[in-house]
Chains A and B, each alone.
Chain A
Amino acid sequence: MPEPEVDLSKTYDAVVIGSGAAGGMAAHVLTGKGLKVLLLEAGKKLPIEQELRSMEWPYDNANRGFLPPDSHSLNFNEYTIRRPPYGPGFEKSKHLHSYIGSGDYTKNIVVDERENPYTGTNYAWVRARCLGGKTNIWGRLALRLSDYDFKAKDRDGYGENWPISYSDLAPYYDKVDLYLGITGVKENLDYLPDSIFQRPTKLNCAEVTLKQGIQKMGRVLTQYRAGVTSDGLKHNKYRSRCYGRGACSRKGGCDIHAAFDSPTGLIYPAMDTGNLTLRPNSTVRELTVDPTTGKATGVHFIDSQTMKDYHVKARVVIVAASTLESARLLLLSKSRQHPNGLGNSSGHVGHNFCEHVMGPGITGRAKDLVGKPPTLDDGRPGGFYLTRFRNLKEKHPKFIRGYGFEGGSGSTMFPRGTDAPGFGAAFKEEVRKNHGAYVEMGGFGEVLARYENHVDLDPVVKDKWGIPALRFHYKFGDNERRMCEDMKETAKEMFEAAGFEILHVNDRMLTEGWSIHELGTARMGNDRKTSVLNQFEQSHDVKNLFVVDGSAFVNASCQNPTWTIMALCWRSCDYLVDEMKKGNL
């Protein structure tokens, strides 16, 4: 379907590249302040409710909710034994997806790996090219960072501090909370600041048992802080409050938009201002600069379907294509003034690439719950978050920084425990009696930002649109390995403290990239020699270039990044408008 004609002869106040959390937020803030904004999204505008079908029963789905048999999604083993690009070897499959594309509800949201190849070291790179990007299917855990993260170097000497403090960002976290809605419980933790929470969801029995069990160890388990509106949002007609319908744990999104997604939370309201022009199917291939001033002038993009090439002009260029795609775009935009890529005089674009390491985790059973009548346990956006406890007051001898656990308990639509041995009547009864008694959690740890962990452009491989592919040079290091060892041990000691029967302890690290929390490839900083952006995510080199997604992060912390991406972006866009009014851009 051809895209509605967009007036490409005019100069927009701002062009925003990418429509996920960051691009949506930029569109929201800038259009709210009267700027005329063009939002370019590489993928389609999907009929998203038809994709997500949140309440469809598996037996009403042709493939029981799984991926159609003509398609394949990569699994851990394939990510481990193969090297990127992952396409070769799967020629028989009509579509090849990343691991997250294993369900019928995400298959059109995530990209086809073969159209979007990358090379280098192993990496499970999850990309969603469609309006809203990954916010359509995100895990919804919405956490704040603190000065334990922003000033981490002051605490352990490693890496760089952020050019901002928590107090700079706190008012913007508040704005994000109020505009988008978040549910949770106040805990008054200095390392995990509270949000302005709507009505919390409750923990279930095994989760309360775990919370009480670890209290004596000084550890904190709190309700999943979900970027979900539990009370509703009077100012947003596109989103409903959460009705606890369940099935939130399956890979997919929320078709009543109680969970935040960029289109209904940010983009549609921005369009209602009359100031936003949206063009999906627009793959940006290069940011253009004025040959005399070196300032950004606009972007070249390819219509993703017709392959026709366009150029559009803008006073400000805002890159929000996701951490790795944004770095790719800067590196692709080489010119006489910017021979290493746009905004890359520091040589740091693509470097200091960091994320969260996943894998170690535990499965146990709350014996008291075995054989109890079934209860509803998954009618809520998430289970629990067990907050960081390492390197807060005391220094751990083996590693720096910290990790938290995400987990949950109780019955789910597809039962836990079907991997029990045996078969027959006893097996069936065992599944029935036990499935509501399972408790699981998995760690998310900070991967240190290291200069040598980086991406660059592959000299040979190109994507479907002829754009050079990204090449990975990225590996976990010893700090991550030692942290994962500790995760396994502390998971065990906490389940023991709760009196759970431990069924399985996982100590295997998942493939790099598995957390889908890639960060840091265009970091902020006060020193333009070692950073790409200033504290307002503005390029040190090019005043009218902003990079407002996860690439601006200085470190990964161990908290999930989406809420921080949006708070930072809001702050940067406020600054952008002020600077524009002053004529400084």
Chain B
Amino acid sequence: MSVRNPSDFRKEIDLRQDRRQWLKTSATLLGASVLPMPAESTEAAPQPQSTPKAPPRHAHETRSLARFFTPDQHALVDELTETIIPEDSHSGGAKAARVTDFIDKTLRETQDEDQKRTWKEGLPLIDSMSHHYNGKSFLDASPEERVAVLTVLSENERMAGLPEVKFFKDLKHLTVIGYYTSKVGIHDDLQYKGNRVLQEYVGCDDPAAAKT
């Protein structure tokens, strides 16, 4: 399946039609590569059934058994959050800000079972979509191909009842919170000037002068 330009999706995609296709095909196409469900409790987390293609991104960390994401899922969420807020010439993106760790902690600790379910269902759906549109998993897809998948969801945000749209909205929400409360977001990206002792608040005496 050839990669389509994200702008094409806006014209062509009827998400409700399309999803029927990829939901039908995803089971046979994906087989074992559908991501395993994450651990529900703090008991031993199930290990991925297939060998990860790459070592987990943060394999050097002491991984708590209580992590919400499996290593495969962690790698997928890393790429999803980076697609939401990518590194650019100005500053690091969601990966540099360790947004996945923030989301893992949030989901691990939340009492909102609905939110946990949204993520458990959403991650495999994203991979199914990537297979449908790109012919490969989200991790194997190029940045442009990843953008194409999320564009389908972003353009259809009003279909809030669909689990993948619900997932996308929460993914964006948590990525935004995680990023803009991080060192990278506050200092590198926004270059926030406050939260320090000042002798005088500078303010503005003449907006006309400030325009130039």
A59 and B106 within 8 A (CB): no
B154 at the interface (CB under 8 A from A): yes
In the bound complex, residues from chain B placing their C-beta under 8 Å from that of A65 are: 181
Stretch binding the partner chain, chosen from A201-209, A459-467, A533-541: A201-209
Cβ-neighbour of A69 out of B110, B193, B197, B210 (below 8 A): B110
Q: Report yes or no: A423 in contact with B203, Cβ–Cβ below 8 A.
A: no
Q: Kindly report which residue of chain B lies nearest to residue A375, judged by CB atoms.
A: B193
Contact B111 A92 (CB under 8 A): yes
- The reply to whether B204 and A374 form a contact with Cβ atoms under 8 Å apart is no
Q: Could you give, for residues 199-220 of chain A, a 1 whenever the CB lies within 8 Å of some chain B CB and a 0 otherwise?
A: 0011111111100100000000
Surface stretch bound by A, among B20-28, B41-49, B84-92, B129-137:
B84-92
Report the minimal beta-carbon distance from A468 to chain B, rounded to whole angstroms: 31
Measured CA separation A252–B207 after assembly (Å): 31
Q: Which residue of A lies closest to B200 (CB)?
A: A244
Binds A, one of B32-40, B57-65, B118-126, B172-180: B172-180
B191 in contact (CB, < 8 A): yes
Question: Which of B11-19, B71-79, B159-167, B182-190 has 4 or more CB atoms under 8 Å from chain A?
Answer: B182-190
What separation, in Å, do the CA atoms of A58 and B203 have in the docked complex?
25
State the interface size on chain B (CB cutoff 8 A): 46
A411 touches B207 (CB 8 A): no
- Contact yes or no, B201 A374, CB < 8 A: no
Q: How far is the CA of A146 from the CA of B16 in the complex (A)?
A: 61
CA distance A68 to B105 in the complex (A): 11
List, in ascending order, chain B residues with CB within 8 A of A411's CB.
190, 192-194
Cβ–Cβ contact B183 & A59, under 8 A: yes
Binds B, one of A7-15, A150-158, A340-348, A413-421: A413-421
Are B205 and A413 touching (Cβ within 8 A)? no
Q: Is the CB of B204 within 8 A of A203?
A: yes
**Is B198 interfacial (CB-CB < 8 Å)?**
yes
Closest CB-CB distance, A465 to chain B, in whole Å? 27
**Does A378 reach chain B (CB closer than 8 Å)?**
yes
Report how far A393 CA is from B93 CA in the complex, Å.
55
In Å, the complex CA distance between A70 and B110 comes to 7
Helix, strand, loop or mixed for chain B's interface?
A: loop
Interface string of A258-276 (1 = CB under 8 A from B): 0000000000000000000
**Which among A37-45, A315-323, A428-436, A569-577 touches the partner chain?**
A428-436
Given contacts A70-B111, A423-B150, A432-B190, contact A201 B206 (CB under 8 A): no
Given contacts A423-B84, A423-B150, A424-B86, contact A376 B186 (CB under 8 A): no
Distance, CA A261 to CA B85, complexed state (A): 40
A27 to chain B, nearest CB (A): 32
Partner of A429 from B88, B110, B147 at Cβ < 8 Å: B88
Interface size band for A: 35 or more
Distance between Cα atoms of A577 and B65 in the complex (Å): 66
A166-210, CB under 8 A of B: which get 1 and which 0?
Answer: 000000000000000000000000000000000001111111110
Known: A64-B177, A374-B191. A208 touches B206 (CB 8 A): yes
Contact check: which of B110, B176, B177, B186 meets A413 at CB < 8 Å? Answer: B186
Query: Is there a chain A Cβ closer than 8 Å to B83's Cβ?
Result: yes
B193–A204 touching, CB < 8 Å = no
Instruction: Give every chain B residue within 8 A of A68 (Cβ-Cβ).
Output: 109
Contact in complex: B201, A418 (CB < 8 Å): no
Q: Which residues of A contact B210 (CB under 8 A)?
A: 205, 368
Q: Contact: B197 with A245, CB < 8 Å? A: yes
Instruction: Decide yes or no whether A425 CB sits under 8 A from chain B.
Output: yes
**Docked-complex contact A428 and B198, CB < 8 angstroms:** no
CB A140 to nearest CB in B, in angstroms, measures 15
Contacts of B207 in A (CB 8 A): 205-206, 208-209, 212, 368
Query: Chain A, 84-98, contact with B by CB distance < 8 Å: what is the 0/1 string?
Result: 000000001100000
Min CB–CB distance B90 → chain A (angstroms): 7
The answer to whether A428 touches B194, judged by C-beta atoms less than 8 angstroms apart, is no
Q: Assess whether B183 is in contact with A69, with CB atoms less than 8 Å apart.
A: no
The answer to whether B102 has its CB under 8 Å from any CB of chain A is yes
Residues from chain A with a CB closer than 8 A to the CB of B198 are 243-245, 376, 379
**Contact of A476 with B by CB under 8 A:** no
In the assembled complex, the Cα of A533 lies from the Cα of B109 at a distance in Å of 51
A436 to chain B minimum Cβ distance, whole angstroms, is 9
B90 engages A427 (CB within 8 Å):
no
> Which residues does chain B contribute within 8 Å of A427, judged by CB atoms?
84-85
A202 touches B102 (CB 8 A): no
**By CB atoms of chain A within 10 A, which of B102, B110, B180, B205 has the most?**
B180
* Contacts A201-B201, A208-B206 given; does A413 touch B106 at CB 8 Å: no
CA–CA, A422 and B85, complex, Å: 10
Asked if A351 CB lies within 8 Å of chain B CBs, one says: no
CA distance A375 to B191 in the complex (A): 9
Instruction: Report whether A376 and B193 are in contact in the complex, using a CB–CB cutoff of 8 Å.
Output: yes
A206 to B210: give the CA distance in the assembly, Å. Answer: 10
CA distance A368 to B147 in the complex (A): 31
- Whether the pair B200, A69 counts as a contact (CB closer than 8 A) is no
Question: Is B53 in the interface zone, CB < 8 Å from A?
Answer: no
- Given A59-B181, A69-B110, A244-B200, decide whether A378 and B205 contact each other with a Cβ distance below 8 A: no
Q: Evaluate contact between A414 and B181: CB separation under 8 angstroms.
A: yes
CA distance A375 to B207 in the complex (A): 13
Establish whether residues B182 and A247, one from each chain, have CB atoms under 8 Å apart when the complex forms.
no
Give the distance in Å from the alpha carbon of A425 to the alpha carbon of B195 in the complex.
27
List of B residues within 8 angstroms of A92 by Cβ: 111
A380–B204 CA distance with the chains assembled, in angstroms: 13
Give the complex CA separation of A421 and B176 in angstroms.
12
* Other A-B pairs, 15, CB within 8 Å; known A64-B102, A64-B181, A374-B193: A55-B195, A59-B181, A202-B203, A209-B207, A243-B197, A244-B197, A245-B196, A245-B197, A245-B198, A247-B194, A413-B186, A413-B194, A415-B190, A422-B154, A425-B88
Write the residues of chain B forming the contact surface with A, with a CB cutoff of 8 angstroms.
83-86, 88, 90, 93, 102, 106, 109-111, 147, 150, 154, 157, 172, 176-178, 180-183, 186, 189-207, 210-211
> Could you list 8 A-B pairs, sorted by A, with CB under 8 Å?
A57-B186, A59-B186, A69-B106, A202-B203, A375-B202, A413-B186, A423-B83, A423-B154
**Minimum-distance CB pairs A-B, first 9:** A202-B203, A246-B194, A376-B193, A58-B181, A205-B204, A69-B109, A244-B198, A64-B181, A205-B207
